[in-house]
Structure 1
Amino acid sequence: MLQLEGVSLSYGSFRALDGIRLHAKAGELVVLLGANGAGKSSIFLTASGLHKPAAGSIRLEGQEIAGARPAQIVARGLVQCPEGRKLFPQMSVQKNLMLGSYVHRRDGTGNRQRLDEVLELFPILAQKKNDPAGSLSGGQQQMVAIGRALMGRPRVLMLDEPSLGLAPLVVKQVFDVLKKINAAGTTVLLAEQNAHAALKIAHRAYVIERGRIVLEGSPETLMNNDAVRKAYIGA
């Protein structure tokens, strides 16, 4: 469904991505593990059209999207939930959510239906839909960020470090929701440092270091890899 082949990206003289090859099949939940600065966010920003690759191909459902405008990519079904949530704190929860439906703004009926589905997925947001997003807890704000991405009606949802800064119990709640989203038919690409939690819900995983994919395999394979355990699991 989503396929990157030989994708490279440079920031000036710095090579952020070097020949990235990865894919996520329809219905998969794929985890991308890596430390800060390894290139996880660069992959997402390039796939989203916010950065232009220096080389390589990015295909969504067989169609080339490298070079397309970000709004076109969202309309085709590839939606990103960015690191750090990027909410508008003074705006209400509902208005933040509705921003995610901008590319579908002419479909008012569909957007209202989608909003109902998001609020059903996150009941606490239904209770707080008129509250400023900035007044919510960190976990609730992450739910708003995920919900906003879902308003874009993704076929492939990319989430960049959704567990960052959250307590372990909240991380479990967020990841349980990601499992539900995936089980409902949305392909998920999840960038994480929290390998222990992420690999529990993944179908496959990649490890990225210094802009290169250095390992690929099943969650079991990576959990049993000494180097991965030492770097990302602490055991």
Structure 2
Amino acid sequence: MLTFENVSQHYGSFRALNGISLHAKEGELVVLLGANGAGKSTIFLTASGLLRATGGSIRFRNQELAGLKASQVVERGVVLCPEGRKLFPQMSVLKNLMLGAYVHRGDKAGNQRKLQEVFELFPILAERREQTAGSLSGGQQQMVAIGRALMGRPQALLLDEPSLGLAPLVVKQVFEVIQRINRAGTTVLLAEQNAYAALKIASRAYVIESGRIVMEGDRDTLLGNDTIRKAYIGA
């Protein structure tokens, strides 16, 4: 469904991605594991059109994404929920959510249906729709960020570090929501440092170091790998 073939990315002379090849099949929940600076966010920014790949191919349902504008990538069904949420703190929850539907702005009825789905997933956001996003707790802000991405009607959802800075109980809730989104039919590519929580809900995973994939496998294989456990789980 979503395929990266030999993708490279440079920041000036620095090679951030070095021949990345990975894929996510329809309905899968695939995790990217790696430390800060490994290249996870760069993969997502490149796939979503915010960075232009300097080499390789990114295909979604056999259509090339590399070279498209970010809005065109969203129109094709690939939507990014970025690291750090990137909300507009002085705008209301509702306005932040509706910005996610911008490429579908001509379909008001469809956007209202999607908004109700988001409110069913996150009831607290329905209660606080008129509050400014910046006044919410960190966990609620992450709900807004995920909800905004869902308003883009993703077929493939790219989630970049959704648990970052959240309390353990909130992390558990966020991962439960990610599972629900995936089980409802959305393919999910999840970048995470919280390896144990991510692998527990994953179909498969890739381990990224210094812009390269150094290991891949199914959930149980990686959870049982001593190197992975010591490096990312602390056990």
TM-score grouping bracket, smaller chain normalisation:
over 0.9
Question: Separation in 2 of the partners of 1:189 and 1:124?
Answer: 25
Q: Deviations over 1:19-38 (max 9, x none)?
A: 00000000000000000000
In the TM superposition, residue 9 of structure 1 has moved relative to its aligned partner by 0.5
User: Structure 2: which amino acid aligns with 1:214?
Assistant: V
In the TM superposition, residue 39 of structure 1 has moved relative to its aligned partner by 0.0
In the TM superposition, residue 218 of structure 1 has moved relative to its aligned partner by 0.7
Match of 2:229 in 1: 229
Question: Separation in 2 of the partners of 1:65 and 1:132?
Answer: 34
Q: Is 1:207 aligned to 2:203, yes or no? A: no
In the TM superposition, what are the counterparts of 1:46-195 in structure 2 within 5 Å?
46-195=46-195
Question: Separation in 1 of the partners of 2:64 and 2:92?
Answer: 36
In the TM superposition, residue 54 of structure 1 has moved relative to its aligned partner by 1.2
Question: Separation in 2 of the partners of 1:222 and 1:106?
Answer: 44
Aligned residues: 235
In the TM superposition, residue 231 of structure 1 has moved relative to its aligned partner by 1.0
Match of 1:216 in 2: 216
User: Structure 2: which amino acid aligns with 1:68?
Assistant: L
Question: Separation in 2 of the partners of 1:189 and 1:177?
Answer: 14
In the TM superposition, residue 224 of structure 1 has moved relative to its aligned partner by 1.1
User: Structure 1: which amino acid aligns with 2:35?
Assistant: A
Match of 1:18 in 2: 18
**Gap regions ≥5 residues in structure 2:** none
Q: Deviations over 1:21-71 (max 9, x none)?
A: 000000000000000000000000000111111110000011111001110
User: Structure 2: which amino acid aligns with 1:150?
Assistant: L
**Gap regions ≥5 residues in structure 1:** none
Q: Which runs of 4+ in 1 moved over 4 A?
A: none
| Cα-Cα RMSD | 0.5
Q: Matched residue of 2:159: which SS?
A: strand
Percent identity over the alignment is 74
User: Structure 2: which amino acid aligns with 1:184?
Assistant: A
Question: Separation in 1 of the partners of 2:90 and 2:55?
Answer: 40
Question: Separation in 1 of the partners of 2:93 and 2:54?
Answer: 38
User: Structure 2: which amino acid aligns with 1:47?
Assistant: A
In the TM superposition, residue 134 of structure 1 has moved relative to its aligned partner by 0.6
Question: Separation in 1 of the partners of 2:91 and 2:68?
Answer: 30
Match of 2:29 in 1: 29
Match of 2:7 in 1: 7
Q: TM-score, normalised by structure 1?
A: 0.99
User: Structure 2: which amino acid aligns with 1:22?
Assistant: L
User: Structure 2: which amino acid aligns with 1:46?
Assistant: T
Question: Separation in 2 of the partners of 1:4 and 1:26?
Answer: 15
In the TM superposition, residue 226 of structure 1 has moved relative to its aligned partner by 1.2
User: Structure 2: which amino acid aligns with 1:171?
Assistant: V
In the TM superposition, residue 191 of structure 1 has moved relative to its aligned partner by 0.1
Question: Separation in 2 of the partners of 1:75 and 1:102?
Answer: 10
Q: TM-score, normalised by structure 2?
A: 0.99
Q: Deviations over 1:95-125 (max 9, x none)?
A: 1000000000000010011001100100111
Q: Matched residue of 1:87: which SS?
A: coil
Question: Separation in 2 of the partners of 1:213 and 1:70?
Answer: 25
User: Structure 1: which amino acid aligns with 2:65?
Assistant: I
